[in-house]
Every structure is written in C-alpha cells, then in structure tokens.
Amino acid sequence: MDKTSLFSIHEGKPIRCKAAISRKPGEALVIEEIHVDPPQAYEVRIKILCTSLCHTDVSFWKVESGPLVRFPMILGHEAVGVIESIGEHVNGFQQGDIVLPVFHPHCEECRDCKSSRSNWCARFADDFASNTRRYGMTSRFKDSSGEDINHFLFVSSFSEYTVVDIAHLVKLSPDIPVDKAALLSCGVSTGIGAAWKVANVEKGSTVAVFGLGAVGLAVAEGARLRGAGKIIGVDLNPEKFELGKKFGFTDFINPTLCGEKKISEVIQEMTRGGVDYKLRMRWFTFFIDRGFQQHPHGFRKNGNVGDR
C-alpha cells in the first residue's frame, strides 16, 4: 500500500511486518518480524510513514518498575501514518487518510471533551496502562512465537504497522510534510499548549522557560504567538541559544555562568522584579531547579511541562 492507495489486500487479516521491540529495560531494541492484528471496533490500522523519538520513550525504555513497565513492548508515540484499514463504528476516517496518532485521548462525547476549558477526557484519560483503549490488556501485536507484545501509550509507532483507537487520532492534510508533522504528536503540541492553553500567556508579558529541548522551544513558540514581550531561556547548553532565537527567545541564562548568584536572582535583575510565567521542562528542573525554588518571589504562574 502506498501513501495514496485506498485499497489494502490485508484488510481483515493480520499483517506481517517489522517492529523495533523493547524486550528488557535499558537493552537495545531488536528488529523483529511481528503480526499486527486487524483493527476492531473504533480502531484503525495504520502504516507508519514517519516516527520520532521523544524523551518519554527513553524514560520508559529504562524504567524497571511501575504500571507502564510491561516488556516486551513497542515504544514510540510521535508519528504520522496512513490508514490501511478501519474497524467497525469508525466514523470520520477512511483508508488512505493521513493521520497523527496522539497519546492523549479525546472521546469527543464526555463533558470534558465537549468543553473548551478541559483537555482531560473524563472517560479515558485516567487509563494510561492498558494496551488498547477499549479492550484493556488485549494486544494487537504478536511476536514470531505467538506471544503478545505490549503497546505503549496507545500508539506504538516503532513498528511498520500499528493499531490505534480513533480517540487517539487526528486527521491531517496530506500536504503537511510528515517529518515535521510527527512532532505535533507530542513535543510541539505539549510546548505550545503549555504556553497558550495552560499558562494562557498574555500579550506583553515576561516568560521564563527552563530547558530548551523540543518542548522548551515549542513553549517559546507558543509564548511568542501569544505576544509575550520577553522570553527568557535557561539552559546548561549554550549551543541551543542560537536555535532558541528562531523560536522566539529574547534572552538567555546559562546557570553555569551565574557564579554565586541563584538563577532567580539573575532573572530578578533582568526583569526588574520577576517574570509573569515560569515554565519548567521536567527533566531540566531535576538538575537545576533547587536554587530557583528558594526564591519564588515575583512569579505569577508556574508550570511543569513534559518529559522530553
């Protein structure tokens, strides 16, 4: 099946394809041949066109205990694919559609999904641990010996084919380059959403962003789109600063060059009293946030974002 075909010879049958399987925590992924079952009601089977690596994949690849640790599994939750076949009760999607799987569910029917003030689907969002959204631990993946392989975050894009519930799908224009669109699955939407929807950054305000990975850059982009006047980037790696300017950062702080001063003191001096919004990338604050927490004076809104 190519990107434009509306017909699949595999419809209703399992597909044999290759996937990168994570069999043990921290061990290299292994490319194996697997079976991908046909989609059931409210599901589609997707041929993955492009997938990217998010830090959350790396985190769960390493973690040895917890509800989402279920080896073997197929990681990957940022991707763009084309629908190969659809299950029953799938409305709004058809074979050949270009789609973006997203780990966060949207049932479209509950009070929260219908409201513009919430993005926490009351029906589905509390369950991150099942394999399939409506079928619990039932998996659509089997290895060559017939054993189940676990899904990850309802996407599992490190496979040539995957099965995704329609509550985790967004239809895309076929004109969008797939390598750029894949980042909308998690990193870019998390960052822009944090600035735009969660913090609700106001025009002319001052924003500090801790950590300039993909999510942090997207936070700056969101703040810039909202009209922030000053966007301060804090990161240990100064090589990110030049790139940061393209995403809207106006000022930068490298904590290793702050000497005896706490980062909060440097920011107070730069802003004459503090910023309006402080958005911290979770992995970054793990390393450097202690000195900042001790001087929270002057901040109106705080937020922790992502795991990238």
Binding residues for Zn ion (CB under 5 A): 54, 56, 107, 110, 113, 121, 123, 186
Minimum CB distance to Zn ion smaller for 98 or for 305: 305
What SS3 class is residue 210? strand
Minimum CB distance to Zn ion smaller for 35 or for 151: 151
Minimum CB distance to Zn ion smaller for 263 or for 305: 305
Minimum CB distance to Zn ion smaller for 73 or for 228: 73
Count the alpha carbons within 13 Å of 286 in the hemisphere toward its beta carbon: 8
Q: CA-to-CA distance for 161 and 152, rounded, in angstroms?
A: 14
CB of residue 122 to Zn ion, shortest distance in Å: 6
Count Cβ atoms within 10 A of the Cβ of residue 34 and give its class: 0-12 exposed, 13-18 middle, 19 or more buried.
buried
Taking the CA atoms of residue 251, residue 198, residue 221 and residue 277 in that order, the dihedral angle to the nearest 10 degrees is: -10
Q: CA-to-CA distance for 8 and 85, rounded, in angstroms?
A: 7
DSSP secondary structure string for all residues of 295-307: --TT-SEEEEE--
Minimum CB distance to Zn ion smaller for 186 or for 192: 186
